[in-house]
């Protein structure tokens, strides 16, 4: 049984040091998730810090406004590009400046509020630019700040978990930095599609055995079983994984 929390529940009640990542292709899914995450915290009297692109800040603000949660002194909105510029040196994030800018902003909010929920797109900006080493370093800096201060963090990457090119290093690197991975809107449907696709490609007995092996070798990052199985398959049987990915995509598209 997949005991992974569904993403809505996870975002409503994150752990005090959770560092979650959402993969998305549809803006609506991103806005829904961020509004869920920030809105739940604001209703509990927590603070929020959003470091995002201008168009997304506008979308998040509108979603929070509809819930009468914004404007509010508990919400701090920062521009992702401008914030990045304050601590990037020679294409890489610099710890002291990062700690001063980000750690300072969170510490400031924590003086007034019991805890803080942070949402950030800076890593995605670096990632989309191809600066993957810088993106992963920045994720590590976020984790380092997370060890020094109490806050939860949600990141978002515009990445397709059913695209073969997302694997073989990219998705695995992203996973290593996060406590939870949210790959899809409907976990049950996603898991069923992966399971059915595996059975179609491998036949039921072999698929069942491999999915059980995958489940027993799950990464430490919490994620739906179907996503863990895809990562495991891609690492260990890449050609098989590509067929399962194609079949999973076809099943999700036709459902």
Partner 1 sequence: MEAFPRDSLRRQLAALGIAPVRHRMAELITLLPVKLNGKPYEDFDADIVAEVLVYLVGKGLIEVPSTELSGLRVAWGERLCHFYRSEEQLLGLLVPYFRQGLEHAERCLWIAGSTRASEKARQSIASLAARQHSPEQLEVVEMDDWTPDVDAWSREQERALAQGYSGLRLCGEALDLSGETQMARTKALSTYSAQSTSTSEIGTLLLRHDAALVKNIDVWQRVPTADPQAAATILSALMD
Q: Which residues contact 18 (CB under 8 A, 6 or more apart)?
A: 10, 152, 153, 179, 180
- Minimum Å gap between C-beta 215 and partner 1 is 9
State which residue, 173 or 240, has the beta carbon closest to partner 1: 240
Q: How far is the CB of 184 from partner 1 (least distance, A)?
A: 25
Phi, psi of 88 (to 5 degrees): -85, 130
Cβ count near 74 (within 10 Å) = 20
| Residue 210 · residue 253 · CB < 8 Å | no
Q: What angle (nearest 5°) sits at the alpha carbon of residue 242, between those of residues 241 and 247?
A: 95
Q: Which is nearer to partner 1, 16 or 239 (CB)?
A: 239
Least distance (Å) between residue 185 CB and partner 1: 30
State which residue, 101 or 237, has the beta carbon closest to partner 1: 237
Backbone angles phi, psi at 160, to 5 degrees: -100, 115
Q: Where do contacts with partner 1 occur on this chain (CB under 8 A)?
A: 201-206, 208-210, 212-213, 216, 236-240, 243
Using the minimum distance from each CB to partner 1, give the nearer residue, 81 or 172: 172
CB of 217 to partner 1, least distance (A): 8
Cα–Cα distance measured from residue 18 to residue 175, given in angstroms and rounded to the nearest whole number: 13
Rounded CA-CA distance 255/244 in Å is 16
216 vs 254 by CB, closer to partner 1: 216
Q: What are phi and psi of 71, to 5 degrees?
A: -70, 150
CB of 38 to partner 1, least distance (A): 40
């Amino acid at each position: 049984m997949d005991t992974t929390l569904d993403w809505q529940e996870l975002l409503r009640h994150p752990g005090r040091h959770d560092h979650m990542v959402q993969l998305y292709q549809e803006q609506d899914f991103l806005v829904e998730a961020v509004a869920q995450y920030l809105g739940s915290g604001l209703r509990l009297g927590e603070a929020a810090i959003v470091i995002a692109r201008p168009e997304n800040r506008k979308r998040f603000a509108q979603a929070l406004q509809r819930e009468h949660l914004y404007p509010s002194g508990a919400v701090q909105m920062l521009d992702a590009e401008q914030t990045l510029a304050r601590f990037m040196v020679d294409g890489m994030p610099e710890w002291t400046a990062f700690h001063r800018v980000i750690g300072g902003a969170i510490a400031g909010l924590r003086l007034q509020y019991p805890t803080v929920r942070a949402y950030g797109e800076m890593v995605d900006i670096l990632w989309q630019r191809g600066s993957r080493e810088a993106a992963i370093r920045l994720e590590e800096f976020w984790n380092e700040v997370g060890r020094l201060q109490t806050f939860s963090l949600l990141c978002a990457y515009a990445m397709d978990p059913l695209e073969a090119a997302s694997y073989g290093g990219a998705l695995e690197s992203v996973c290593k930095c996060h406590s939870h991975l949210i790959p899809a809107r409907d976990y049950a449907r996603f898991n069923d599609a992966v399971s059915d696709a595996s059975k179609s490609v491998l036949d039921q007995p072999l698929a069942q055995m491999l999915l059980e092996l995958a489940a027993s070798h799950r990464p430490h990052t919490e994620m739906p079983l179907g996503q863990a199985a895809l990562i495991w398959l891609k690492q260990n049987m890449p050609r098989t994984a590509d067929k399962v990915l194609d079949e999973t995509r076809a099943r999700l598209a036709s459902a």
